[in-house]
Amino acid sequence: MGRYIIRRLLLAFPVLFVVSILVFGGTRVVPGDICTIVLGVDTSGAGASRENCDQVRRDLGLDKPIVTQYVTWATGAIQGDLGRSMVQRRPVLAVMQSRIPTTLQLALMATILSIAIALPIGVLSALKQDKLPDVTARFLTIGWLSMPQFWVGTMLITFPAIWWGYATPVPYEDFWKDPLTNLEQTYLPVLSLGLAFSATIARLTRSSMLEVLRQDYVRTARAKGLQERVVLSKHALKNAMLPVITLIGIQVGVLMSGTVVIEFLFALPGMGSLLVESIITKDFAQVQGIVLFFAIIVILINIAVDLSYALFDPRVRFA
């Protein structure tokens, strides 16, 4: 397994290299001028002299050839230095560290909620195929899938405010400083995220369970007189979990990559809202650091998902 992990980590470097080139080049073709943001002038550049803008570009290293800029940034990134925010004039990592816990909390809570809802529904739906529980479960999951997250989030904000005059407290409180206030601020966005993801997981769990329940080893386990609970938990569900684990890994990667709309709706200072703010202000260094961080997170999650296969299927071997 050690060799497998090392090989996967080595294969991640070409991916990160391509991602770094794409994000670095992409930020340079975005319309706009960073000097108008730094100097606090309007988008037309009125009031910003050429000398002032030239000085800003020199300070930020934007006067150098683009290849030189990339090499300088990539060299620093390899050493753990993602540069300084062009707008906030703070290290990119320092800005990100203040936002990562919020997105991490949302991702973990939404994942736990979606799994807690989806697995029982998916298993029950498979066991009661084409009966009332199955039809009801499919109706609910299709309904959840058909409702966009931003719409669900908007409704969770609007209806409690209209009916009960309730609104989540502001400003945002860190979980470790005020856990109760933090949970009150995050349970609605977690609910809007968790419902959407649970629908996808539940439908895949149902399909995978239906396929596994028809296998010979499940019929053999039942013929040997094993209890239905043992058959389902040790023989059916474990083998049905492989595609489900893959989907959960993808969804965790999506959540960790920033739930932009939900964070904006509920005024949560996470990575998604930071990315949008950085794009709006043309903060190239911050955008590059965030996207590179997202790429690393997705790669690590995929490796973790692949390693988890051996826990559910002993036939899986890592050469």
User: Which residue(s) pair with 84 in the sheet?
Assistant: 91
The verdict on 151 and 65 lying in the same domain is no
Structural domain ending residue among the three candidates 60, 76, 97: 97
The verdict on 47 and 109 lying in the same domain is no
The verdict on 78 and 190 lying in the same domain is no
Nearest residue to 240 via CA among 202, 293, 189, 278: 202
Distance CA 108, CA 49 (A): 48
Contact assessment for residue 196 and residue 110, using Cβ atoms and an 8 Å cutoff: no
Position 316 in a domain: no
Percent of the chain with pLDDT over 90: 3
Distance CA 145, CA 93 (A): 35
Percent of the chain with pLDDT over 70: 91
Nearest residue to 23 via CA among 294, 316, 300, 292: 292
The verdict on 92 and 142 lying in the same domain is no
**Model confidence at 43, in pLDDT bands (50, 70, 90)?**
very low
For residue 37, the enclosing domain spans 2-97
Position 306 in a domain: no
**Does residue 244 carry a pLDDT above 80?**
yes
**Does residue 3 carry a pLDDT above 70?**
yes
Position 282 in a domain: no
For 168-204, write each residue's pLDDT tens digit: 877 888 888 888 988 888 888 898 888 888 888 999 9
Torsion sign across C-alpha atoms 41, 44, 46, 50:
positive
Cβ burial 137-156 (10 Å sphere, 16+ → b, else e): bbebbeebbeeebeebbeeb
Predicted local confidence at residue 37, as pLDDT: 64
Distance CA 85, CA 89 (A): 5
The verdict on 123 and 247 lying in the same domain is yes
Position 317 in a domain: no
Query: What domain count does the chain have?
Result: 2
Question: Coil, strand or helix: which one is 93?
Answer: helix
Distance CA 246, CA 140 (A): 23
Position 294 in a domain: no
Q: Write the CATH number for 124.
A: 1.10.3720.10
The verdict on 23 and 158 lying in the same domain is no
Distance CA 101, CA 99 (A): 6
The verdict on 196 and 159 lying in the same domain is yes
What pTM did the predictor assign? 0.81
The verdict on 227 and 248 lying in the same domain is yes
